[in-house]
């Protein structure tokens, strides 16, 4: 396939005067299973194959995609013509930051790749998980989704980048509905990995653990009481801390969004206490891990907030040039039908030195928020997180669960109210939508906020 | 296709082949500039086959006959490995379709250049001091589908739509407003860029002035985009027949009962005059129809796809929607219409002494469809005093959709078309005595 792509690239170089041409091919086989209350409503084998082409000409981008390889040259020509047409409307010409180009093969770190696992085993495991969930009398309905992929991705550019990936992932999503009397409650759970294969489900996330977690979340809501509305001390668990890192702060540090956000004028300034550090980095088991991004740039660890100071942001080559910075590997495309855009990978708060008991012992009344269902943020860092598992803290003790509530605040204000950073660490896998879906993870230690977050 | 069905029948008791061809031409706006123009073409074929009540699905990024044959064989391999679904009845039988809407062929050929111009126009109109065009875009989508099954269903459809949207951020004296966006979507290229920009600009100007919101019970007027996001997550899932069968809808046993008042009428009507998703068949080839779900506040009934309808012993209402990444069908809507009322939005606002106007909700997707509970942040939202919008005011609104709906006291005459879950036609809705938590 590399030969076919190179031939097309050479043809394009001979025929068009482009500043940059990038061809990204992918050919991936996926297994998708959905088990809804005893029935596999989806039992699918998917072949996803196509080419994405991005051309920079006269300082503007043109993009095209096709899954008909016989149209490859035509698609390059489309992208070129689109770039030329767009250029006419452009005041500021796009330029790309210089990079060192790589020729590499990115091997998978998986021990057991999903394609090596017989489908029967995938089926059995989901059925087992379903029956474990339904052993609990309150669980009335379950929806389990599983997807894996194995295949290859090839990126070649006119600058000499030539990278081939052995691309694999596994992903699982659980939605369970519980009922007790007239009360209905629902909980979600999501796990996934790009560096762990089937071993994820054997070693890290066995069915028993997942089921226990989901049942706990459903019961917390069924038995939960409505919280008091208002501003109270909040202790957030790693999953919620991660969501704040991702939704409320991470997006502001994506260079294309930074420019319209309060972060723009805060780079280099103290925005949080000195014991707060937030990173975008490779994490053991991180769902956003990779060696190169979709522009062929090596993925680098960055500190968005270091010791309280807003320091680095996520860049692609275009924005790296604009900001006069080094690109750091955050250009990602969902698949061949999309151009790469600036995305997060694994966004986390780094651990501190508090233990959990110390953190809650002097709270007379507050809340402990453990897990969320959906979260959203605005460019001014206003965020809202639906809480699917949370508890009251009364006189230094965790007491009753709370139900169907949410927390909200302005993250850059809430950051200043962080009074303790835990010495533990947790990571949550998820999918982020920014027009395209990307696998990401987020997490951190337990953290305490004395104000800045409203519950209710 | 007949040949492929016959080929498939060698393996399966029954099967369905659905091919979707799409062409999208679009441009992106980023930071006061057109950024990327794109042309995307895709063909996807989904094969669903059933053998001894065992389902197998294969999806292939192609419409080629040979590739589809391979997909049929792969689907068969999977079906053999699947467990029998004792509830399975059959794929749909052929039905009678309504006359399709006339389609605008221009949408099929339009070049992204057209939208480059449109975007440039929009950016130009929005260029005022302190206003940044943070994002936006425009484009046309064209789709052709063909659904056939071994019972004789054979339906092809084609059509397209165009859209334009803009997101503005105000930045003045160190103050950043929330992102404010507005959009237009139509079945033709006649997009109203001017109104889109004008509406967004008006709101950014309101948002420059911030007002405090109180913790109180107040009148809240919710604009179409916010209505659609809240109801799509907190209410509409409860209309699904699947949830009735499973006992996870709060509307079980509520047919014929009032869930709101006479101001609320909701139907799924793909051929409604404003619909941008005028399908005559659903993704299983079942004819679509106008399904009245709530009439003058009274809940009239559930919507169904083929699978759940047959299990429950009713007819599919033509609400089977396919997920192209999994091939699966689930119950969904084509074009939800919430009937408009008598007053204009301006009149509704004009009559409010003290209240709020909500353009968007954050976190609507964290609502609980199983019981209707929601906890959202109203943002962008605005304070109304003495019939006038005073400035932006962010607040939290948490409650239950079934407690909110009876407090509906006015519905705007104007309806907006939203490209949300197919398409939606939604007015602004005004509620009384809404509990809010101010900031």
Q: DSSP letters of B121-159?
A: HHHHHH--TTEEEEEEEEEEEEEEEEEEETTS-EEEEEE
Separation CA B45–CA B23 (nearest Å): 15
Neighbours of A47 (CB within 10 A): 20
Q: What is the dihedral of CA A212, A217, A219, A220, to 10 degrees?
A: 130
Share of chain A above pLDDT 70, in %: 100
Which of A88, A127, A404 comes nearest B375 by C-beta?
A: A404
Report the DSSP beta bridge partners of residue B143: B22, B159
- Top residue of B40, B245, B359 to mutate, by most chain A CBs within 10 Å, is B40
Q: Which residues of chain A have a CB within 8 Å of the CB of B85? A: 39-40
- Is A408's CB within 8 Å of B248's CB? no
The pLDDT, as a whole number, for residue B419 is 84
- Top residue of B17, B34, B38 to mutate, by most chain A CBs within 10 Å, is B38
Q: Which residues of chain B have a CB within 8 Å of the CB of A50? A: 42, 61
Q: Give the pLDDT band (50/70/90) at residue B268.
A: very high
The pLDDT, as a whole number, for residue A434 is 85
Separation CA A19–CA A13 (nearest Å): 10
- Is B58's CB within 8 Å of A44's CB? yes
The pLDDT, as a whole number, for residue A381 is 86
Residue A346 main-chain phi, psi, to 5 deg: -125, 115
B421 has a pLDDT exceeding 80: no
For the purposes of burial, counting CB atoms within 10 Å of the CB of B414, is it exposed (0-12), middle (13-18) or buried (19 or more)? middle
Q: Give the pLDDT band (50/70/90) at residue B411.
A: very high
Q: Which residues of chain A have a CB within 8 Å of the CB of B62? A: 47, 49, 67-68
Nearest to B434 by CA among B387, B378, B360: B378
Q: What Cα–Cα distance (Å) separates residue A53 from each residue in A78, B36, B174? A: 9, 12, 40
Q: Which of A145-154, A174-183, B248-257 has the lowest mean pLDDT?
A: A174-183
Nearest residue on chain A to B439, alpha-carbon basis: A454
- Is A184's CB within 8 Å of B74's CB? no
Separation CA B219–CA B429 (nearest Å): 11
The pLDDT, as a whole number, for residue B357 is 97
Are A286 and A425 spatial neighbours (Cβ–Cβ below 8 Å)?
no
Residue A203 main-chain phi, psi, to 5 deg: -105, -50
Place of tokens 């149209």: A71
Which of B79, B328, B362 comes nearest A42 by C-beta?
A: B328
- Is A45's CB within 8 Å of B87's CB? no
B353 has a pLDDT exceeding 80: yes
B1 has a pLDDT exceeding 90: no
Neighbours of B69 (CB within 10 A): 15
Give how far B131 is from chain A: nearest CA, Å. 10
- CATH class of domain segment(s) A2-222: alpha beta
Tokens of A133: 């969930």
Average pLDDT for B92-97: 96
Place of tokens 């009428």: B265
Neighbours of A135 (CB within 10 A): 10
Nearest to B286 by CA among B272, B305, B312: B305
Cβ neighbours of residue A238 under 8 Å, at least 6 residues apart? A424, A425, A426, A427, A428, A443, A444, A445, A446
- Is B132's CB within 8 Å of A260's CB? yes
Average pLDDT for B312-318: 97
Nearest residue on chain A to B120, alpha-carbon basis: A89
Tokens of A418: 């962080």
- Top residue of B176, B380, B397 to mutate, by most chain A CBs within 10 Å, is B176
Nearest residue on chain A to B111, alpha-carbon basis: A82
Are A106 and A166 spatial neighbours (Cβ–Cβ below 8 Å)?
yes
The pLDDT, as a whole number, for residue A127 is 95
Query: Mean pLDDT in chain B?
Result: 94
| A-B contacts at Cβ under 8 angstroms | 261
Label residues A432-443 b or e (16+ Cβ within 10 Å = b). bebebebbbbbb
- The 10s digit of each residue's pLDDT in A55-76 is 999 999 999 999 988 889 999 9
Average pLDDT for A5-34: 96
Give how far B196 is from chain A: nearest CA, Å. 20
Give how far A93 is from chain B: nearest CA, Å. 10
Q: What residue ranges do the domains of chain B occupy?
A: 2-201, 216-438
The pLDDT, as a whole number, for residue A87 is 92
Are A413 and B439 spatial neighbours (Cβ–Cβ below 8 Å)?
no
Q: What Cα–Cα distance (Å) separates residue A342 from each residue in A3, A268, A387, B311, B356? A: 29, 21, 28, 46, 36
Which of B365, B373, B394 comes nearest A374 by C-beta?
A: B365
For the purposes of burial, counting CB atoms within 10 Å of the CB of B96, is it exposed (0-12), middle (13-18) or buried (19 or more)? exposed
- Is A85's CB within 8 Å of B111's CB? yes
Q: Which residues of chain A have a CB within 8 Å of the CB of B78? A: 43-45, 119
Separation CA A409–CA A69 (nearest Å): 49
B149 has a pLDDT exceeding 90: yes
Are A297 and A327 spatial neighbours (Cβ–Cβ below 8 Å)?
yes
Q: Which residues of chain A have a CB within 8 Å of the CB of B370? A: 177, 184-186
Give how far B195 is from chain A: nearest CA, Å. 22
Separation CA A216–CA B155 (nearest Å): 47
Report the DSSP beta bridge partners of residue A230: A455
- Is B363's CB within 8 Å of A376's CB? yes
Q: Which residue would you say has higher pLDDT here, A386 or A296?
A: A296
Q: Which of A116-125, A331-340, A371-380, B10-19 has the lowest mean pLDDT?
A: A371-380
The pLDDT, as a whole number, for residue A183 is 83
- The 10s digit of each residue's pLDDT in B359-399 is 999 888 888 888 899 988 898 899 999 999 999 998 989 89
CATH number of B2-201: 3.30.2290.10
Give how far A259 is from chain B: nearest CA, Å. 8
Are A340 and A327 spatial neighbours (Cβ–Cβ below 8 Å)?
no
Q: Which residues of chain B have a CB within 8 Å of the CB of A380? A: 176-178
Q: What residue ranges do the domains of chain A occupy?
A: 2-222, 230-455
DSSP 3-state of B265: coil
Which of B38, B366, B396 comes nearest A374 by C-beta?
A: B366
Q: Which of A186-200, A207-221, B34-48, B174-188 has the lowest mean pLDDT?
A: B174-188
Interface of B with A in 129-188 (CB under 8 A): 132, 134, 169, 171, 174, 176-179
Q: What is the dihedral of CA B364, B369, B374, B378, to 10 degrees?
A: 20
Are A114 and A197 spatial neighbours (Cβ–Cβ below 8 Å)?
yes
Q: Give the pLDDT band (50/70/90) at residue A118.
A: very high
Give how far B411 is from chain A: nearest CA, Å. 27
For the purposes of burial, counting CB atoms within 10 Å of the CB of B136, is it exposed (0-12), middle (13-18) or buried (19 or more)? buried
- Is B366's CB within 8 Å of A120's CB? no
- Is A62's CB within 8 Å of B366's CB? no
Q: Give the pLDDT band (50/70/90) at residue B176.
A: confident
ipTM: 0.80
Label residues B196-216 b or e (16+ Cβ within 10 Å = b). bbebbbebbbbbbebbebeee
Average pLDDT for B200-209: 92
A302 has a pLDDT exceeding 80: yes
């Amino acid at each position: 396939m590399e030969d076919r792509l190179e031939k097309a690239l050479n043809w394009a170089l001979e025929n068009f005067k482009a500043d940059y041409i990038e061809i990204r091919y992918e050919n991936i086989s996926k297994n998708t299973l959905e088990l809804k209350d005893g029935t596999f409503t989806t039992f699918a084998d998917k072949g996803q194959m196509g080419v994405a082409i991005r051309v920079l000409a006269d300082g503007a981008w043109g993009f095209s995609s096709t899954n008909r390889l016989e149209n490859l040259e035509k698609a390059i020509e489309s992208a070129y013509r689109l770039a030329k047409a767009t250029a006419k409307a452009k005041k500021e010409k796009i330029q790309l930051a210089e990079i060192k180009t790589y020729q590499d093969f990115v091997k998978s770190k998986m021990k057991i790749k999903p394609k090596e696992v017989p489908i029967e085993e995938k089926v059995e495991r989901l059925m087992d998980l379903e029956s474990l969930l339904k052993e609990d009398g309150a669980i009335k309905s379950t929806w389990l989704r599983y997807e894996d992929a194995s295949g290859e991705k090839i990126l070649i550019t006119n600058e000499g980048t030539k990278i081939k990936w052995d691309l694999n992932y596994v992903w699982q999503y659980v939605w369970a509905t519980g009922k007790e009397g007239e009360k209905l409650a629902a909980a979600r759970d999501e796990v996934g990995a790009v560096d762990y294969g089937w071993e994820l489900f054997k070693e890290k996330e066995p069915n028993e653990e997942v089921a226990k977690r989901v049942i706990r979340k459903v019961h917390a809501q069924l038995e939960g009481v409505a919280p008091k509305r208002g501003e109270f001390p909040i202790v957030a668990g790693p999953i919620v801390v991660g969501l704040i890192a991702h939704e409320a702060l991470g997006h502001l540090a994506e260079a294309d969004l930074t420019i319209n956000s309060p972060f723009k004028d805060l780079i280099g300034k103290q925005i949080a206490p000195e014991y707060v550090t937030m990173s975008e980095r490779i994490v053991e088991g991180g769902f956003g891990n990779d060696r190169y991004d979709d522009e062929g740039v090596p993925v680098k660890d960055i500190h968005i907030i270091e010791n309280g100071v807003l320091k680095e942001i996520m860049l692609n080559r275009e924005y790296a040039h604009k900001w006069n910075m080094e690109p750091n590997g955050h250009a990602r495309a969902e698949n061949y039908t999309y151009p790469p855009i600036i995305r997060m990978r694994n966004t986390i708060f780094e651990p501190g030195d508090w233990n959990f008991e110390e953190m809650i012992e002097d709270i007379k009344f507050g809340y402990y928020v453990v897990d969320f269902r959906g979260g959203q943020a605005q460019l001014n860092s206003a965020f809202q997180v639906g809480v699917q598992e949370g508890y009251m803290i009364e006189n230094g003790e965790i007491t009753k669960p709370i139900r169907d509530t949410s927390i909200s605040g302005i993250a850059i204000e809430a950051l200043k109210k962080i009074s303790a950073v835990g010495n533990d660490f947790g990571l949550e896998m998820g999918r982020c939508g920014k027009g395209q879906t990307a696998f990401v993870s987020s997490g951190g230690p337990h953290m305490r906020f004395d104000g800045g977050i409203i519950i209710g | 296709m007949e040949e492929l069905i016959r080929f498939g029948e060698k393996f399966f008791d029954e099967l369905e082949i659905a091919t979707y061809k799409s062409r999208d031409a679009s441009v992106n706006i980023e930071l006061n500039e057109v950024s990327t123009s794109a042309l995307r073409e895709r063909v996807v074929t989904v094969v669903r086959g059933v053998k001894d009540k065992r389902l197998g699905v294969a999806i292939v990024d192609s419409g080629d006959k040979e590739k589809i044959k391979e997909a049929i064989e792969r689907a068969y391999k999977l079906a053999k490995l699947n467990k029998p679904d004792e509830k399975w009845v059959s794929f749909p039988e052929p039905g009678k379709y309504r006359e399709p809407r006339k389609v605008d062929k221009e949408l099929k050929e339009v070049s992204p250049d057209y939208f480059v111009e449109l975007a440039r126009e929009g950016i130009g109109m929005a260029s005022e001091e302190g206003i940044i065009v943070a994002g936006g875009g425009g484009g046309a989508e064209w789709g052709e589908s063909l659904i056939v099954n071994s019972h004789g269903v054979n339906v092809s459809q084609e059509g397209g739509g165009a859209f334009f949207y803009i997101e503005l951020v105000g930045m003045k004296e160190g103050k950043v407003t929330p992102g404010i966006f507005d959009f237009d979507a139509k079945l033709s290229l006649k997009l109203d860029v001017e109104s889109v920009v004008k509406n967004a600009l008006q709101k950014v100007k309101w948002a420059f002035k911030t007002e405090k919101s109180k913790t109180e019970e107040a009148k809240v007027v919710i604009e179409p985009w916010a209505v659609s996001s809240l109801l799509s997550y907190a209410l509409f899932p409860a209309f699904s027949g699947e949830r009735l069968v499973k006992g996870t809808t709060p509307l079980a046993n509520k047919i014929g009962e009032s869930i709101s008042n006479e101001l609320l009428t909701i139907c799924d009507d793909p051929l409604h005059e404003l619909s941008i998703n005028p399908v005559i068949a659903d993704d299983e080839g079942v004819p679509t129809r106008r399904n009245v779900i709530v009439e003058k506040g009274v809940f009239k009934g559930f919507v169904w796809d083929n699978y759940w309808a047959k299990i429950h012993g009713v007819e599919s209402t033509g609400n089977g929607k396919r997920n192209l990444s999994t091939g699966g069908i689930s119950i969904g809507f084509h074009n939800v219409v919430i009937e408009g009322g008598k007053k204009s939005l301006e009149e509704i606002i004009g009559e409010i002494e003290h209240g709020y106007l909500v353009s968007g909700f954050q976190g609507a997707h964290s609502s609980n469809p199983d019981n209707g509970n929601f906890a959202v942040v109203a943002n962008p939202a605005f304070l109304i005093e003495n019939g006038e919008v005073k400035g932006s005011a962010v607040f939290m609104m948490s409650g239950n959709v079934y407690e909110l709906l009876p407090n509906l006291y006015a519905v705007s005459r104007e309806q907006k078309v939203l490209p949300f879950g197919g398409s939606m036609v939604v007015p602004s809705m005004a509620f009384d005595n809404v509990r809010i938590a101010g900031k």
